[in-house]
A and B are shown apart, each in its own frame.
Chain A
Amino acid sequence: MANLSILIHLDYTLMIVAIGAALLGAVSGSLGTYAVLRRQSLLGDAISHAALPGIAIAFLLTGSKTPLILVLGAALAGWLGTLLILSIVRLTRIKYDSALGIVLSTFFGFGLVLHTLIQRTGNANQAGLDTFLFGQAATILESDVWTIGILGGIAIIIMLVFWKELKLLVFDEGFAASLGFPIRVLDILLTSLLVVAIVLGLQAVGAVLMSAMLVAPAVAARQWTNKLSVMMFLAACFGALAGVSGTIISSSASRIPTGPTIVLCATVVVGFSIAFALNRGLLWDWIRHQRNKQSLKVATDRLLKQPQRGSE
C-alpha cells in the first residue's frame, strides 16, 4: 500500500512503467514458481535467448515492428527451442544441461546472423538488438501495459483452470501418469505458459535478465512457506514489489538502467528471505541450533550431577 501512495505523486510515464513492471513481475513470479519447483530454473534463460531468431524472422517476413508480431515470432522460436531441448534429452544420452546450453547459444547465434542480415539491408526500421538484450522499461506505453495485463492474465487464468493437474505434474509426475493424466500435453502446456511470460518480459528487462525474473521471486517465496498456493501468491507479490521498486530507484538517479535494477531488487528480496525467513531461514536455523546446544548442555549437566547408580 505504501508503494501505491508514492505512485500517486509520481508523473504519468513513470506510473505506466511501474504498473507494467509490477504486472510483469507478478506474472513471471507466479509462473516461475513451477519452473523453480521442477528444477527448470534455467529454462527461462534458454527460452529468452532462443527467441531472438524468431523476432528477426518475424521482422524479415513482415517488415513491421508491431510488438504483437515480433512477440509472436519470439514465442514460436522460444517454444521450438524448448521442444528441441526436450527431444534431445529424450532421444540421446546428452543431459539436460548440455542440451539447454547448446540450444540457448546456437539459437542466439543464428539470431545474430539474421540480425546482421537485417542491418546490412540498411532498413532503418530495424529491430533493436540492444532492446532485446537489456530491455527498455522506459519505453513501456499504456498499450503495452494492456498487452501485458491481458496476455499475462490469460496465462494466469489457464494456469488456475489446470491447477490440480499442474500441481500433480510438478510434485509427482509418475503418479499423475498412473492416474491417466496426459503428462506430455500438460508439460507442453506449462512450457507454453512460461514462454508467454518470458516473451512479455523481454521488452522490459531483456533476454539476459529475464531468467532472474522467473527464478528470484519464486526462490524468495519458497523460503516462507511449504504450500504451493501461498508460495505462488507470495512470488507474485515479490515480483511486483521488485518491479515497482526497481522502476522507482532507477528513475531517482540518472543513468541507472531499469531492467538490471529490477533484477537487483529481486535479488535483495531473495537475500532477505534466505537470511530471515521464519522456520527455514539461516537466522532461524542458527537460533534453533543454539537452543538445541543449550538444552543439550542442561541435559548433560543434569545427567552428570546425578548420583551414579548401578555402577558398583
Chain B
Amino acid sequence: MIQDHLDIQLIAIVTAVACALPGVFLVLRRMTLMSDAISHAILPGIVIAFFLTESLSSPLLILAAAGTGVLTVVFVELLQRTKLVKEDAAIGLTFPALFSIGVILISRFAGNVHLDMDAVLLGELAYAHLNRLEVFGYNLGPVSLYVMGTILLLNLAFILLFYKELKLSTFDASLAAALGFAPTLIHYGLMTLVSVTTVGAFDAVGSILVVALIAGPPATAYLITNRLSLMLTLSAVIGSVNAVSGYWLAYLFDVSIAGSIATMTLLMFGLVFLVVPSRGLIAIARRRTRQRWEFAQTMLVIHLFNHEGLPEAEAESEIAHLHEHLRWDPAFATQVVKYALNNRYVSQEETLLTLTERGRSVAQQALVQ
C-alpha cells in the first residue's frame, strides 16, 4: 500500500517536471496552445500505432505519436505560410481535424481493439503504476516511471546542451538567426520534445490535462522571477508541489488524481497571483492605496503651505473645515489628517493644523516639481 502511494507520487512528480521544463519555453515563446494542439492531434498516431503494436507503452507507439505531433506543427506552419490563415485559426483548424480522424478510426474498429477513449483523453494515474517492468522475474518498478524518467532526462539534456541557443532564440529570434544559431532547428527540436513529452504523459494524465502541466507551473514561475534559469528551477519545484498535493487531495476525497493535480495547478497559480511581492494582486492593491494616501497628504501640506503666515491661515487650517477647502469627503479628510500627523508632516494645536519643518520642505519640493 505504501509502495503504491510512493510509486504513484513518483510518477506524478517525474511527469510534472518533464512537462514543466519544455513548458517554460512554450510560455515564453507564446506557443502554449501548440501543446494543446499537439496533445489532441497525436490521437490518430496513437490509434494507428496501437493497431500495429497492440500495446500502449511500446516505444514504437511513442515514436509514431510523436511523429504525428511534429506533423501537426508542420501543418500549422504550412497553413500559416499561405498567408490566408492566421496562426490561431491555423491551430484551431488542424488539431480538431486530426483528432476527428482519430475518433473515427477508434469507433470504426472499436470491436477489434481494446483502446479506451477515456484512457487516452483523461488518463488514469491510479492505474499507471500497475504495469510493471519485469526482467528475469525481478520486479523493477512501474513501466511508466521508466518511460517518463527517460523523457525527463531527454528534456534535461536538450535544455542543458542548447541552453544558450534556446535562450537567445526565445528572447531575440532575429539576433539568433543573424548569429547563425538556426532558430528553425531549435524550434523543431523543441516541438519534437513537446510531442514526445505529451505522448509519454498521456497515459498518466490524458491529453487535455497535459496542458495544465505544461502551461501551469511555468506561468506561475513567470509571475515570480525574471531569470530564465530560476524560472526553470521554480517551474520544476512548483510542478512537483502541485503533483504531490494534488495526489493527496484526490486520495482524501477519492476523486480523479489527474483532475485534482490540475485543480491544484489553478489554485497554486491563483495563490501566487495574489501574494507574490510587487507584481501580485495584493501588492498592486496596497501600492494603489498607499499612493492615494500619499497624494492626499501632499495636497494637505501644499494647502497649509499656501496659506501659511497669511491672514486667512487660521480659517484654512481648521481641522473641522478642511474637507470644504480641499473638497474631500469629511471622513476621508479626518483619515488624511491622522495619516499626516503620524508621519509628522503636520502638528496639531487645539483645532488648528500647522506644518512641521518636514512638512514644509515636502510642500516646497512638491511645488518645485
Contact = CB atoms under 8 A, between A and B. Distances in A.
Contacts of A260: 99-101, 103-104
B35 A101 contact: yes
B100 A282 contact: no
Interface in A86-104: 88, 91-102, 104
Interface string B203-240: 00000111110111011001100000000000000000
A243 to B, nearest CB: 14
Nearest to B122: A112
A174 B256 CA distance: 45
Give the interface SS of chain A, mostly helix, strand, loop or mixed: helix
B6 to A, nearest CB: 23
Contacts of B279: 92-93
A84 to B, nearest CB: 9
Interface stretch (A23-31, A40-48, A138-146, A179-187): A40-48
A174 to B, nearest CB: 20
Nearest to A134: B103
Interface in B21-66: 27, 30-33, 35-36, 40
Given A105-B212, A109-B261, A110-B263, A274 B110 contact: no
Nearest to B226: A93
Contacts of A134: 103, 117
A40 B89 CA distance: 8
A100 to B, nearest CB: 6
B258 A212 contact: no
Contact of B214 (A40, A101, A114): A101
A113 B92 contact: no
A130 B92 contact: no
A203 to B, nearest CB: 16
A238 interface: no
A69 interface: no
B236 to A, nearest CB: 17
B288 interface: no
Contact of B263 (A101, A104, A109, A218): A109
A59 B108 CA distance: 32
Interface string B236-255: 00000000000000100111
Given A94-B222, A108-B208, A42 B216 contact: no
Contacts, number: 205
Contacts of B121: 133, 208
B216 A120 contact: no
A116 interface: yes
Nearest to A108: B208
A112 B214 CA distance: 18
Q: DSSP majority for the B interface?
A: helix
B330 interface: no
Interface stretch (A9-17, A156-164, A262-270): A262-270
A133 to B, nearest CB: 6
A117 B216 contact: no
A106 interface: yes
B344 to A, nearest CB: 35
B33 A105 contact: no
B86 interface: yes
Given A101-B214, A106-B212, A44 B266 contact: no
Interface string A125-152: 0000110011000000000000000000
Interface in B63-105: 79, 82, 84-89, 91-93, 96-97, 99-101, 103-104
B262 interface: yes
B97 A264 contact: yes
A113 B89 contact: no
A255 B258 contact: no
B93 to A, nearest CB: 6
Contacts of B269: 102, 106
B91 A111 contact: no
Given A109-B265, A256-B108, A95 B92 contact: no
A80 to B, nearest CB: 12
Contacts of B273: 88, 91-92
B294 interface: no
29 contacts: A39-B88, A41-B89, A41-B92, A94-B219, A97-B30, A101-B36, A102-B212, A104-B208, A105-B208, A105-B210, A105-B211, A105-B216, A106-B262, A106-B265, A209-B96, A209-B100, A212-B97, A215-B96, A216-B96, A255-B107, A257-B103, A257-B107, A260-B99, A260-B101, A261-B100, A264-B97, A267-B93, A274-B79, A282-B82
Given A94-B222, A101-B211, 12 more contacts: A94-B223, A98-B219, A105-B36, A108-B209, A109-B212, A109-B258, A112-B258, A130-B118, A219-B89, A260-B100, A260-B104, A267-B100
